[in-house]
A and B are shown apart, each in its own frame.
Chain A
Amino acid sequence: KAGVTQTPRYLIKTRGQQVTLSCSPISGHRSVSWYQQTPGQGLQFLFEYFSETQRNKGNFPGRFSGRQFSNSRSEMNVSTLELGDSALYLCASSLGTGGYGTEAFFGQGTRLTVV
């Protein structure tokens, strides 16, 4: 079956701009989570969406937002970009209903560079 697809793979944006990243989960998966990966902070949880509702949220400013559509595809938006937002953004897909011990499948990520 097809894996998790993230688009675009690479982005270069200017400070102050906004950006939208997309994630298509594995067919049948209803949960999508987003993570930011940087050399200094490692992997940090941004938020999780399940059935179009935000279910969990990490400790990021309000400039980071997301949404999920009825087909489970998710988008993440970052407004007023800062240099520190440069990172690899990873999307993780899971069934979402298995609860305990359910594994997540990750996309290849979107590499965002803010200049």
Chain B
Amino acid sequence: GDSVTQMEGPVTLSEEAFLTINCTYTATGYPSLFWYVQYPGEGLQLLLKATKADDKGSNKGFEATYRKETTSFHLEKGSVQVSDSAVYFCALSVTGNQFYFGTGTSLTVIP
């Protein structure tokens, strides 16, 4: 079945450090891939998405490339800020408004 495996956290980084959160997926069809972010006490917000192989999604300095050959969609940011502290979820969707989420990676950025 469809599933997402995400790097376990928590991750703690110093401000301006480089961030990578690994995400791999298994899908029977041709999924679209997403990264969502959740701040404390909030719902999920879309961070970026990619709908086909080799697409790169980007937003607010975050990037992820849809790699079909490695079934991966790793999230990267060159220089994190304290305000990036949140929980990050990798997700896929094959059909409709049905998403499969990874377990989430908690990121804390310290000044």
The answer, among A42, A99, A108, for a CB contact under 8 Å with B101, is A42
Residue in A6, A55, A58, A104 with the greatest tally of chain B CB atoms within 10 Å: A104
User: Which residues on B sit within 8 Å (CB–CB) of A55?
Assistant: 96-97
The answer to the question of B12 belonging to the interface, with a C-beta cut-off of 8 Å to chain A, is no
The answer, among A35, A101, A108, for a CB contact under 8 Å with B32, is A101
B95 touches A103 (CB 8 A): no
The answer to the question of B17 belonging to the interface, with a C-beta cut-off of 8 Å to chain A, is no
Query: Per-residue CB proximity of A26-42 to B under 8 Å, as 1/0?
Result: 00000111010000001
Interface size class of B (residues with CB under 8 A): 20 to 34
Bound Cα distance from A71 to B32, whole angstroms: 28
The answer to the question of A107 belonging to the interface, with a C-beta cut-off of 8 Å to chain B, is yes
A104 touches B99 (CB 8 A): yes
Tell me, rounded to whole Å, the shortest Cβ–Cβ distance linking B68 to chain A. Answer: 15
The answer to the question of B43 belonging to the interface, with a C-beta cut-off of 8 Å to chain A, is yes
The answer, among A32, A58, A106, for a CB contact under 8 Å with B43, is A106
Near A by CB (< 8 A), chain B positions 34-53 give 34, 36, 41-46, 49, 51
Bound Cα distance from A43 to B88, whole angstroms: 12
Interface size class of A (residues with CB under 8 A): 20 to 34
Q: Which B residue's beta carbon lies closest to that of A9?
A: B41
Q: Which A residue's beta carbon lies closest to that of B89?
A: A43
B49 touches A108 (CB 8 A): no
The answer to the question of B100 belonging to the interface, with a C-beta cut-off of 8 Å to chain A, is yes
Spell out B's residues near A (CB within 8 Å). Answer: 30, 32, 34, 36, 41-46, 49, 51, 89, 93, 95-104
Spell out A's residues near B (CB within 8 Å). Answer: 4, 6, 31-33, 35, 42-43, 45, 48, 50, 55-56, 58, 90, 92-94, 96, 99-109
Name 20 extra pairs, CB < 8 A, besides A33-B99, A50-B97, A96-B96.
A4-B43, A35-B101, A42-B102, A43-B104, A45-B100, A50-B96, A90-B44, A92-B97, A92-B99, A94-B97, A96-B97, A100-B30, A101-B32, A101-B51, A101-B93, A103-B46, A104-B97, A105-B46, A106-B36, A106-B45
